[in-house]
């Protein structure tokens, strides 16, 4: 004998189960659509970037030489990103066991900025009408102590912002520090010929030396730094 | 006839007026600057297990000072103790720019920046990497003041190298950008002392250091007689005053 109230409870429970099943199904569908919408914004496969030959100017502490060596790398299109990828690869080679110019592991370069030469600043121009977004108009201002202009049209200054974690662990010595800087300059020159000058910062600030010796305040001319072994007599 | 003779002796064109050559700047031939690199909390590079670069550079500087003083030189040292302190400001560490300032005020015949390393062998000589300019301007950019002295520095490097070679010391001669060489207005050379052989502890060998110091001191005697400072261009104000009748 099944009482009436028991039947009512039973059918209420059945209704709740069906309602919950429907809700679960709808939520599942909604979540699936959300995941699919995110997935469509991401590349489904790795970018089939073709590698290209690059030249790394690799230093050798044993004889003080720098030699250009070919590697195959997939490089970004953007020049700033290319420069940084090249330098990351260069430092990664130096961190390998058995390197001829051993350097600490880890990321050395925080950022690379490429600036058109001659370098100019900008000042607010009150005479000009404001821009569309409401910000005041600016006009270029030459430096009070202008540096050398570009040798060729389109020449650029590369500002390399090194990480202090890399600089603080760099081996000290005139030769070992000079080789690191010249290796960087030579690698940029070999692969990004529009770079004519190179400057260095550490954590965004000027610093006198790399590890007590090599000059980091100087503007280095971009050039082929591949050299035979230092003149030893 | 006389007039014709005189006319015949008259030069066809006036002699070409040559611009006066700028005079060389002042130079104290008997003064040598020794900059024992690092000091105090800045120990420089570690050579072997227990040797710091700052101690080797100071030891070599003292050896050189004795030898140079015996040869009649006045030696200006940027530091004579472990810590490099700014003169007249006790407790204030000497900056690299201060060291260049001391050297520039001395107008020395040679400025030697003494460094030491555990890598390589013998003595490494480095001169500035700046491109040479033919004359010293009245006002010099601080970071490229050495440019007018690049030729003299190269000559000094060659002289020191020859002397070290004669002394049988392994030698590496090159160019490098080492702070604060590019800010110096004197023939400036980085002298980096490395062990004579594979034994890093050998960098403290007194006989080896003495041999290096004697070779350098001997070369500086010869150098002080032959060094010629670069011509110094007059300032715009002085040139304008000289042009007035």
ipTM summary value? 0.80
Nearest CA in chain A to B161: A233
CB-closest option in B46, B118, B178 to A213 = B178
Nearest to A173 by CA among B192, B6, B196, B93: B192
Dist CA A185 CA A195 (whole Å): 9
Nearest to B111 by CA among B144, B54, B64, B143: B64
Neighbours of A101 (CB within 10 A): 17
Contact status, residue A194 vs residue A156, Cβ threshold 8 Å: yes
Nearest to A160 by CA among A124, A88, A109, A216: A109
Q: How confident is the model at residue B171 (pLDDT cuts 50, 70, 90)?
A: very high
Q: Is the four-CA dihedral A180, A181, A184, A185 of positive or negative sign?
A: negative
Q: What is the mean pLDDT of residues B20-28?
A: 75
Contact status, residue B185 vs residue B136, Cβ threshold 8 Å: yes
Dist CA A199 CA A219 (whole Å): 5
Q: What is the mean pLDDT of residues A180-184?
A: 95
Residues of chain B with C-beta less than 8 angstroms from the C-beta of A213: 115, 178-179
Q: What pLDDT is stored for residue B13 in this prediction? A: 46
Residue B231 lies in a domain: no
Tokens 């302190």 locate to B85
Phi, then psi, of A120 in degrees rounded to 5 = -125, 155
**How far A86 CA sits from the closest chain B CA (Å)?**
23
Q: What number of helices (H) and strands (E) belong to chain B?
A: 6, 8
Residue B4 lies in a domain: no
Q: What is the mean pLDDT of residues A103-126?
A: 85
**How far B130 CA sits from the closest chain A CA (Å)?**
10
Dist CA A23 CA A20 (whole Å): 5
Q: What pLDDT is stored for residue A227 in this prediction? A: 78
Tokens 């099943």 locate to A21
Dist CA B103 CA A75 (whole Å): 47
Least confident span in A117-121, A189-193, B55-59, B223-227: A117-121
Neighbours of B25 (CB within 10 A): 17
| pLDDT over 70 at A39, yes or no | no
Residues of chain A with C-beta less than 8 angstroms from the C-beta of B182: 215, 218
| pLDDT over 60 at B18, yes or no | no
| Number of domains, chain B | 1
Contact criterion met (CB < 8 Å) for B192 and A175? yes
The DSSP call for residue A197 is E
Better-scored residue on pLDDT, B213 or A75: B213
| pLDDT over 60 at A42, yes or no | no
Least confident span in A51-55, B58-62, B238-242: B238-242
Dist CA B173 CA B160 (whole Å): 10
Nearest CA in chain A to B54: A212
- Give the domain CATH number at B113: 3.40.630.40
Q: How does B201-234 read in b/e, with b if 16+ C-beta sit within 10 Å?
A: ebbbeeebbebbbebbbbbbeebbeebebbebbe
Q: At A135, is the secondary structure helix, strand, or coil? A: coil
**How far A158 CA sits from the closest chain B CA (Å)?**
18
Q: What pLDDT is stored for residue B92 in this prediction? A: 86
Dist CA A95 CA A99 (whole Å): 7
Mutate to test the interface with A, among B38, B44, B45, B137 (most CBs of A within 10 A): B45
Contact criterion met (CB < 8 Å) for B179 and A208? yes
Average pLDDT over chain B reads 87
Q: What pLDDT is stored for residue A232 in this prediction? A: 54
Percent of chain A with pLDDT over 90: 57
Q: Cα separations (Å) of B212 from B29, B43, B87, B203, B240? A: 22, 22, 29, 11, 49
Contact criterion met (CB < 8 Å) for B176 and A211? no
Domain span at B149: 25-224
Nearest CA in chain A to B166: A233
Any idea where the domains of chain A sit in the sequence? Answer: 1-42, 52-117+154-221
Percent of chain B with pLDDT over 90: 66
Q: How confident is the model at residue B2 (pLDDT cuts 50, 70, 90)?
A: very low
Contact criterion met (CB < 8 Å) for A178 and B176? yes
Dist CA A128 CA A131 (whole Å): 9
Residue B13 lies in a domain: no
Q: How confident is the model at residue A152 (pLDDT cuts 50, 70, 90)?
A: confident
| pLDDT over 90 at A145, yes or no | no
Q: What pLDDT is stored for residue A177 in this prediction? A: 93
Residue B12 lies in a domain: no
Better-scored residue on pLDDT, A147 or B97: B97
| pLDDT over 90 at A44, yes or no | no
| pLDDT over 80 at B24, yes or no | no
Percent of chain B with pLDDT over 70: 87
Contact criterion met (CB < 8 Å) for B178 and A181? no
For β-strands A231-232 and B171-175, DSSP reports them as antiparallel
Q: What is the mean pLDDT of residues B214-238?
A: 89
Average pLDDT over chain A reads 86
Cis omega (within 30 of 0) for bond into B41: no
pLDDT in tens, A64-74: 889 999 999 99
Q: How does A70-91 read in b/e, with b if 16+ C-beta sit within 10 Å?
A: eeeeebeeebeebbbbbbeebb
CB-closest option in B172, B177, B179 to A64 = B172
Residues 145-164 of B with CB under 8 A from A: 161
| pLDDT over 60 at B1, yes or no | no
Better-scored residue on pLDDT, A122 or B141: B141
């Amino acid at each position: 004998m099944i009482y009436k109230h028991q039947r009512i409870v039973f059918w209420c429970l059945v209704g709740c189960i069906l309602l919950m099943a429907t809700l679960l199904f709808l939520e599942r569908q909604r979540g699936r659509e959300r995941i699919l919408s995110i997935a469509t914004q991401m590349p489904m496969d790795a970018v089939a970037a073709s590698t290209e030959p690059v030249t790394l100017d690799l230093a050798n502490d044993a004889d003080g030489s720098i030699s250009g060596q070919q590697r195959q790398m997939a490089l970004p299109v953007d020049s700033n990103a290319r420069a940084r990828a090249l330098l990351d690869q260069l430092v990664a080679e130096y961190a390998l066991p058995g390197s001829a110019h051993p350097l600490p592991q880890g990321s050395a370069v925080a950022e690379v900025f490429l600036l058109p030469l001659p370098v100019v600043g900008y000042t607010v121009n009150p005479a000009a009408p404001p821009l569309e977004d409401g910000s005041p108009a600016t006009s270029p201002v030459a430096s009070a102590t202008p540096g050398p202009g570009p040798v060729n049209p389109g020449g650029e200054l590369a500002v390399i912002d090194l990480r202090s974690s890399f600089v603080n662990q760099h081996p000290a010595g005139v030769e070992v520090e000079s080789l690191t800087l010249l290796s960087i300059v030579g690698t940029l020159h070999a692969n990004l010929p529009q770079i004519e000058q190179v400057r260095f910062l550490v954590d965004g600030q000027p610093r006198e030396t790399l590890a007590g010796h090599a000059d980091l305040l100087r503007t280095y001319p971009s050039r082929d730094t591949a050299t035979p072994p230092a003149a030893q007599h | 006839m006389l007039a014709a003779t005189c006319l015949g002796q008259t030069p066809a064109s006036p002699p070409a007026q040559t611009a006066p050559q700028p005079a060389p700047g002042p130079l104290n031939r008997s003064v040598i600057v020794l900059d024992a690199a690092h000091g105090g909390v800045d120990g420089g590079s570690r050579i072997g297990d227990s040797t710091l670069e700052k101690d080797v550079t100071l030891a070599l500087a003292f050896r050189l000072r004795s030898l140079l003083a015996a040869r009649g030189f006045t030696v200006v040292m940027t530091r004579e103790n472990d810590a490099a302190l700014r003169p007249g400001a006790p407790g204030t560490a000497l900056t690299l720019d201060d060291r260049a300032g001391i050297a520039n005020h001395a107008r020395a015949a040679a400025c030697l920046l003494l460094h030491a390393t555990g890598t390589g062998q013998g003595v490494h000589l480095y001169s500035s990497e700046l491109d040479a300019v033919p004359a010293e301007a009245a006002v010099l950019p601080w970071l490229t003041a050495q440019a007018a002295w690049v030729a003299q520095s190269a000559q000094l490097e060659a002289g020191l190298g020859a002397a070290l070679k004669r002394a049988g010391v392994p030698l590496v001669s090159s160019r490098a950008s080492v702070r604060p060489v590019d800010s110096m207005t004197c023939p400036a050379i980085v002298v980096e002392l490395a062990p004579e052989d594979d034994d890093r502890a050998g960098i403290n060998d007194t006989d080896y250091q003495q041999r290096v110091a004697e070779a350098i001191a001997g070369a500086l005697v010869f150098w002080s007689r032959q060094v010629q400072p670069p011509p110094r261009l007059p300032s715009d104000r002085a040139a304008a005053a000289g042009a007035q009748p």
